[in-house]
Amino acid sequence: MRVVVSPAAAAAVVPFLSVGLALCCAGEVHAQSGWREPPEIIRKVVEAPPAPGVALSPQRSWLVLTEREAMPRLEVVARPHLKLAGMRIDPRTRGRQLSTRTMAITLRSLADGSEHRVDVPPGHWSGPIWTADDRAFALLHTTDDGIELWLAESATSKPARVDGLTLNAVLGSAVTWLPDQRRLLVRRAIAAGMPPPPRIPDGPQLQETKSGVRAQVRTYQDLLQDAHDEDLFEHFTTCQLAVVDAATKQVTNVGEPAMVSSVSAAPDGSLLLVTKIHRPFSFIVPSSRFPRSTSLMDFDGNVRRVLHSSPLREATPIGGVATGPRGISWVPTLPHTLVWTEALDGGDPKAKVDNRDRVMMLSGVDAEPRRWFDSAYRSWGLSYTDSGDMALATSTNRKTRMQRVMVYDPRDPDKPGSLLYERSRRDAYGDPGRPVTRRSAIGRRVLRTKNGQMYLAGAGATPRGNRPFVDRCDPKTGDKQRLFRCAEGRYESFVGFLDDAEQRLLVRTESSTEPPRLVTVDASTGKREDFLTFEDRAAEHVRGITKRLIHFEREDGVPLSGTLYLPPGYEEGQKLPALVWAYPLEYVRKSDAGQVRATPTRFPRISGSSHLSLLLHGYAVFDRVGMPIVGPVRGANDTFVDQLRMNARAAIAALSQTGQVDTDRVALGGHSYGAFMTANLMAHSDLFAAGIARSGAYNRTLTPFGFQNEERTFWEAPEIYFAMSPFMHAQKIDEPLLLIHGADDNNSGTFPIQSKRLFAAIKGHGGTARLCFLPHESHGYRARESVLHCLAEMCDWMDRHVRNKPADAAGKKR
C-alpha cells in the first residue's frame, strides 16, 4: 500500500522545501546539506524564460503565443501523488502531475498583426483547444481543487468558467469538440476524496503462475501493490462522460460512470466509440495491459454494439502485440466506419508468417466486419487525406528495422494498395519527412492535400547537419517538388502554411549567432520577410559560444561525428578541459550508424539541467558524439563494450586533432542509457579523467527480460548481461564518477537503487564516487531547486577532477 500525504500534511512540509536536502555522499565524507546553486551566469541563463511556444489556429486566423516559466518550483514537483498502474496521479486534481505554469497566452492576428492577450491569470493552463473554424476555443485550468473547463465564445472574448464542472484527465484528454463544433465531449470527475486504507491489511498479497504460460514482461515502475491500490486505481480513473453545450454551458451526462480509457465520436456525430477498463487488474503490468471492452454507444448511453473484449495481457511476447482487434478507430472521412488491426502471427514477433497483421473495416453498427488488407510487416497506424480518397498505412519490420508506407483507398476496400516507399527507419539521409496535417471541418486530424498531392516536412539530415525541408509529393507516382529548404548556414523549421495555395510558409529561423525569430517564405521565389522577433533574455550570455561539426572515424571504418562547442571568450591556441556527452544507439546497418543528425547552425539554447551549462564555466563540450552499436538485432550487444571503446578512442583522437582540447582533462557524461555508457567506459577504459552519470541503470540483471533494443532475456544470454553491467565490474572503476539520480525515478529499469548499489560497490572497492539523490524528482529533473543543484554538482565535479586533475601515469585499459 502507498502512503498518501494529506493536503494538510503537505502544506506543513512546504516551508521546509526551500531549505531542501539532496543526499550526497563521497567516500566516507558526507557532503554539505542544503540546496546549492551553480555560478551566477549559469543560474541566470537557465532561469531565463524560454521563447514563447507558437502554434497556428486551425484556419490560420491566429498565431498562438504561449509564454511559460522556465522551471516549476519544488513545491509543485513535490505535490503528493499516487503511484498506480504505471501512472502518477495527483489525487486533488484528478490529473497527472503538474509542470510549469503558463504565464500568458497571446493571440496574434495573421490578417493585420494585432495582438489580443487572453484574459486569464498565470497558472496551470492547457490550450487553446480550438473549434475547427477558429470561432471559439476551450481552456483547461488546473487548480488545487481540480481541473476546470473555461470557454471563450469568440477568439477575442474573455474566457468564462463552466460552473459546477470539474474534469478527470487521469486516463487521457478530458475535453474534445464534437463533430458539430458546438458541443464538447468531456470526462467529468465524480466522487471526491478517496477510499480509506484498511487499518490493518486484509491479508497477504498473493500471486500465482499458470503452468506453461510464459509471462515475460519488461521492468515497469509504479505498479499496483495491493488490494487498496486496486481500489484507488478504480476510484481515480472512474469518470462520467458528459456533453457540454458551448453556448448555454449546460452539462448533460452520457451513460454511467466507468473507467473510460478512450472515447471518440463518429464523424457524423451519431455514435460514441468507448473503451472501458475493467477488473481483474495486475501487479506486474501497467494499466495499458488491463482488461478492456470496446463498444458503440449512443448519446442516451445505450450500448448499440460490443465490438471487442480483451483479457488481461500479462503474457504478451516481448516486442509483440495483443491478439484480437487492436487500435479500433473511426475513419475520419466516412460517416461511421471503423477500422482495426488483428495479428496474424499470434502477436509473436518471432513467429514465421507471410503476413503479420490484417486490417479490418466495419461500415456500420449493424454491418459485418470485412478484410481491408494484409500487412507483411507489423502495422503501426493509418492516416487519411482530407479528400477522403487515400489512406497511408505504416508498418515496420522489427528484425530489419525497415519501414514501409502503403497507399490504400478507404472508399474501395477491394482496391489493392500501392507502395509509397520502403526505407530503413535509421536512415536519416533518406527520410522523406512526415505528412503535413490539418484539422477537418469536424475537427479531425487529416493529411493536407491539394489536387491529389500531399505535403511532407522533414529534418533534412545531411553530412553537414540538418537542413529541414517541405516537399509536395504525388502519392501515385512518388514524384516530389521541393517547396522549401532551410537556407545554407542557418537552421529553419517549418511551422505551417499561411494560405490555401500552400505557397506562403511560416518558418522559424535562427543561426549559431542569431536567436530564433519567425519569417514568412514565398515558396515560388524563396523570398523571406520578417514576421515576429522574440526577446531572448539569455542571448547576451551565450552569444559568444562557438560550435562546429567534427567528422571522424573509428578503427573499423564506421564514420562518426559530434558537435564541438567552445565557451565564450575562447582564445585560439588554448587547450581546454572538456566534457564528452553521448547516448548509445543501436543500428543494423553501418551506413545508417555513420549519418549526421546534428544541427550545428542552431543558436545555443541552454535550459534545465543541460550539460551545455558547463560552457559558461569555461569548459569545451563535445556534444551528441556518435556512439553507435552496430549489428543484428539479436547480436549487436555481443560486442557492446568493445564498440563503446572504439567510439570513445575515436572521439578522443578527434578532439586531439583540433588542438583546442587537453585530452588528458576530458570527462565523459550521459543521461539514462548515456549514464550506462559512461559507467561502462569508466570500468573498461582509461580514456577519461572523470565521469558524470545521471539517472542510469547499471545492473542488467534487474532488467532480466530485456532492455533498450535487447530482445534476449537474462537466461538466454547471461554472459552478455554480465559483460554489459558496470556494477559487475565496479572494482575496475578507478576514475572519479559522479552519480546523480531522481529519488522518485519512474522510468522503466532505472530504479534509484541502481545508482545506490553502484555507489556502494565503488565505495566498497576504494574508488572515488559521489552520489546525489534529488528529492521528488523522476527520470528528468524539473524543479528549479533540483536543476540548479544538479548543475552545481556537475561544475564542482569537473573543477575537482578534470580542470584541476593531478598528473598521473598513462592508463592501462585504453
Residue 291 and residue 281: Cα distance in Å, rounded?
7
729 as an active site residue: the answer is no
What is the chain's Cα-based Rg? 27
CA end-to-end distance (rounded Å), the chain: 49
Degrees to nearest 5, angle at CA 183 with 182 and 188 = 160
Name the amino acid, one letter, at 123: G
Strand ranges inside 254-345, DSSP E = 260-265, 272-277, 292-297, 303-310, 326-330, 338-343
* b/e sequence 378-395, b meaning 16+ C-beta within 10 Å: bbeebbbbbebebbbbbb
| Alpha-carbon gap, residue 711 to 717, rounded angstroms | 10
Pairing state between β 434-435 and 453-458: antiparallel
239: amino acid identity, one letter: C
Residue 779 annotated as catalytic: yes
Letter for the amino acid at 620?
A
Q: Specify the pairing of strand 445-447 against strand 585-587.
A: unpaired
Instruction: Pick the catalytic residue from 308, 607, 779, 796.
Output: 779
Q: Are strands 115-117 and 102-109 parallel, antiparallel or unpaired?
A: antiparallel
Dig out the grid coordinates for 683 from the structure.
570500468
- Where in 700-768 does DSSP place strands (E)? 737-742
Q: Which residue is associated with the grid cell 569537473?
A: 798
Q: Please, what's the largest Cα pairwise distance for the chain?
A: 80
Q: Are 516 and 603 in contact (CB under 8 A)?
A: yes
Q: Are strands 628-630 and 585-587 parallel, antiparallel or unpaired?
A: parallel
Question: Quick one: which of 795, 793, 801 has its CA closest to 741?
Answer: 793
In sequence order, the 6+-apart residues with CB closer than 8 A to the CB of 105 are: 64, 65, 66, 67, 117, 118, 120, 125, 127, 128, 139
In eight-state DSSP terms, residue 805 is P
CB 678 within 8 A of CB 695: no
Catalytic residue among 295, 561, 672, 725: 672
523 touches 503 (CB < 8 A): yes
**Beta strands, E only, 225-353:** 239-245, 251-253, 260-265, 272-277, 292-297, 303-310, 326-330, 338-343
> Which residue, among 46, 27, 36, 88, has the nearest Cα to 777 in the 3D structure?
88
Provide the residue type at 705 as one letter: F
Question: Of 744, 745, 776, 786, which residue is the catalytic one?
Answer: 745
CB neighbourhood size of 141 (10 A): 20
Q: Give the whole-angstrom CA distance, residue 375 versus residue 746.
A: 35
Report d(CA 177, CA 362) in Å as an integer: 24
Supply the DSSP string of 101-139, one letter for each residue: PEEEEEEEETTT--EEE----SBEEEEEEE-TTSS-EEE
- Annotation marks residue 672 as catalytic: yes
Cα 101 to chain center, whole Å? 19
The b-or-e profile of 465-502 (16+ CB within 10 A means b, else e) is bbbbbbbbbebeeeeeeebbbbbeebbbbbbbbbeeeb
Catalytic residues: 672, 745, 779
